[in-house]
Amino acid sequence: MKIRNSILTFLAVAALGYFLWWASLNLDRYMLRIINLIAINAILGLSLNLIYGMAGMFSLGHAGFMAVGAYVSALLIITSDQKVKMWILEPIAPWLMNLHTSFVVSLILAGLAAAFVGWLISLPVLRLGGDYLGIATLGFSEIIRILIVNLTPITNGSLGLKGIPAHTDLWMSYGCLLVALFFMIRLMKSNFGNVLRAVRDDEIAARTMGIDTFRVRVLAFTLGCFGGGVGGALMGNLITTIDPKMFMITQTYSLLMIVVVGGLGSITGSILGSVLVTTMLEWLRFVENPINFGSIQIPGIPGMRMVIFSVLLIAIIIFRREGIMGTREFSWNWFFRKGGVGR
């Protein structure tokens, strides 16, 4: 059974690899961007799910950690010639001028920077519970954004950074997604995963069992922020421009949507949620473009996309609170039981 499952997993990864190879040769740039976005949103969804779904900490600060990651990575890979040209309002800080690393190193540093910021924030904030935690993390994420707007010598202020080399390709984003998936699955199967669930389901009981709940929550939060930073960095390298407006609270809302649609606390759910939400958000763009019915033209309605999006979010939370997967997970054994094969 175990060997069968390993072979199947290997085959699934191989199939994904084949699909990516086929896609990178045959699909146009718009499609490729969506497929890339699915992976990046899945990484971000997984990291938010670790904080919120697995550890039960309602955090609304993910956009801020993404911003940290995106800026760190971009500042490390933009060349110094570009930097000179870009900082118009104020000259760039001299120590930043010649900092340069490869893309992969910048990704890791982006994750570490976001994790460090998250760790610093978590120490005071995680003493709070429930929705106070949500508001406090939201506050920190706004503070990060305001700092980015104002620290012009480092971040180029509200102009943002342009011309980031488009390093994110399918192999990069799906490679990162596989690493994140592998890590999450191992983590949740480990004893730490059990501890996390215990803290989420009943913190007082967990504390009675001798678990240092604060330390566990800080660790989970920091790990989640690492994911947020890497996701933000990948996003910046995909879109090639970043500015502070990208990392407003709406960014956190779409991630929240992914996690809630997929199912809080389900790894499989976050992946499915990302596929659904990302494709839906792209597909909904049609309502904002003019539509032609033969000779009749219906003008596009700006803002309609987000109206539909928010109605769906409300409908899901009212009618199917547990999302697609609930807290269940996909496994090969479950797959064969459902399919009625190999009993």
Partner 1 sequence: MSLNMFIQNFFNALGLGALYGLIAVGYTMVYGILRLINFAHGDIFMLGAYFVFFATIQFKLPWGVGVVIAIIGATVVGLLVDRIAYRPLRAAPRISALISAIGVSFFLENLAVVVFTGMPRAVIQPDWLVSPIKMSEEVSLIPLALIVPFVSFALIGALLWIVYKTKPGLAMRSISHDIETTRLMGVSVDRIIALTFALGSALAALAGIMWALRYPRVEPFMGIFPGFKAFIAAVFGGIGSIPGAMIGGLTLGFVEIMSIAFFPNMSGYKDAFAFILLIVILLVKPTGLMGERMEEKI
Return the H-helix or E-strand segment holding 296: strand 296-298
Identify which range of 99-107, 132-140, 270-278, 331-339 contacts partner 1 by CB under 8 A.
Answer: 132-140
Residue with tokens 């997970």: 329
Q: Does 289 bind partner 1 (CB under 8 A)?
A: no
- Whether 70 and 232 have beta carbons less than 8 Å apart is answered as yes
What is the token pair recorded at 103? Answer: 């893309």
Comparison of 105 and 311: residue with beta carbon closer to partner 1: 311
With CB under 8 A as the contact rule, the residue among 138, 172, 180, 225 that binds partner 1 is 138
- Whether 160 and 241 have beta carbons less than 8 Å apart is answered as yes
Q: What is the closest distance, in whole angstroms, from the C-beta atom of residue 125 to partner 1 in the complex?
A: 7
Residue with tokens 């678990």: 211
Backbone angles phi, psi at 79, to 5 degrees: -75, 160
Binding track over 204-243 against partner 1, x by CB under 8 A: x---------------------------------------
Q: Taking the mean position of all CA atoms in its chain, how far away is CA 119?
A: 18
Q: Does 154 bind partner 1 (CB under 8 A)?
A: no
Strands 291-293 and 296-298: antiparallel
What is the token pair recorded at 136? Answer: 């406090």
Identify which range of 14-22, 221-229, 303-311, 331-339 contacts partner 1 by CB under 8 A.
Answer: 303-311
- Whether 304 and 288 have beta carbons less than 8 Å apart is answered as yes
Site size with partner 1, rule: CB under 8 A: 40
Residue 298's DSSP bridge partners are 291
Q: Does 140 bind partner 1 (CB under 8 A)?
A: yes
Q: Does 72 bind partner 1 (CB under 8 A)?
A: no
Q: What is the closest distance, in whole angstroms, from the C-beta atom of residue 52 to partner 1 in the complex?
A: 9
DSSP 199-236: HHH-HHHHHHTT--HHHHHHHHHHHHHHHHHHHHHHHH
Q: Does 302 bind partner 1 (CB under 8 A)?
A: yes
Give the angle subtended at the CA of 32 by the CAs of 314 and 48, to the nearest 5°. Answer: 40
Q: Does 6 bind partner 1 (CB under 8 A)?
A: no
Identify which range of 123-131, 189-197, 216-224, 275-283 contacts partner 1 by CB under 8 A.
Answer: 123-131
List of residues contacting partner 1 (CB under 8 A): 58, 124-125, 127-128, 130-132, 134-136, 138-140, 142-143, 146-147, 149-150, 204, 249-250, 253, 256, 260, 301-304, 306-307, 309-311, 313-314, 317-318, 321
